[in-house]
């Protein structure tokens, strides 16, 4: 398989088999080592504070953690050649979040949200990603910084 095929298969697999992401309506829309993306729509069940009608901070953290994990996964794959489904699974088996910081910049209001992630420190064992959450108007809702185990 070439890498575009692998990214497409992983996107489908992750979108269809991760219960918590499905519960929140998170959808990976770009699985790419340069910049990955996750989209989700407003739903009333994502409300934290019923008075203010804004996203619970945990929704923001979940979307940022997911998109950071996607870009970290894409960078693991980018480092290897001659990949098969089995070797991809093996390479991704150790992927996990070590720590993450979320900075909440504005109340989480909007109809549609876009989380993006880029790698700021690569490596064969640990990768660090920076993530952002914007709404459909381009308002910047949150920043994230995540350190991921990748090997």
Residues engaged in binding a copy of itself (CB under 8 A)? 17-21, 23-24, 44-50, 55-59, 61-63, 65-66, 96-107, 120-121, 125-126, 128, 130, 140, 143, 145, 147, 149, 151
Residues linked to residue 49 through DSSP beta bridges, in sequence order: 54
Q: What is the spatial distance between Cα 66 and Cα 82, in angstroms, rounded to a whole number?
A: 26
H helix intervals, 35-95: 57-78, 85-92
Q: How far is the CB of 12 from a copy of itself (least distance, A)?
A: 14
Residue nearer to a copy of itself on the CB measure, 7 or 40: 40
Residue nearer to a copy of itself on the CB measure, 3 or 130: 130
Q: How far is the CB of 25 from a copy of itself (least distance, A)?
A: 11
Residue nearer to a copy of itself on the CB measure, 2 or 96: 96
Q: How far is the CB of 75 from a copy of itself (least distance, A)?
A: 14
Buried b (16+ CB within 10 A) or exposed e, 1-19: eebeebbeebbeebbeeee
Q: How far is the CB of 28 from a copy of itself (least distance, A)?
A: 13
Q: How far is the CB of 133 from a copy of itself (least distance, A)?
A: 12
Residue nearer to a copy of itself on the CB measure, 4 or 94: 94
Residue of 109, 92, 4 whose CA lies nearest to 52 = 109
**Burial class of 140 by CB neighbour count within 10 A (0 to 12, 13 to 18, 19+):** exposed
């Amino acid at each position: 398989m070439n890498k575009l095929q692998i990214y497409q298969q992983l996107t489908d697999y992750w979108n269809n088999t991760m219960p918590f992401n499905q519960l929140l309506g998170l959808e990976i829309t770009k699985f790419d080592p340069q910049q990955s993306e996750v989209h989700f729509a407003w739903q009333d069940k994502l409300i934290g504070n019923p008075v203010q009608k804004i996203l619970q901070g945990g929704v923001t953290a979940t979307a940022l953690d997911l998109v950071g994990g996607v870009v970290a996964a894409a960078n693991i794959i980018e480092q290897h050649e001659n990949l098969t489904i089995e070797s991809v699974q093996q390479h991704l088996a150790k992927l996990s979040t070590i720590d993450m910081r979320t900075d909440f910049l504005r109340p989480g209001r909007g109809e549609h949200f876009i989380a993006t992630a880029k790698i700021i420190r690569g490596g064969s064992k640990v990768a660090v990603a920076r993530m952002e959450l914007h709404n459909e108007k381009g308002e910047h809702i949150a920043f994230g910084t995540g350190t991921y185990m990748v090997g």
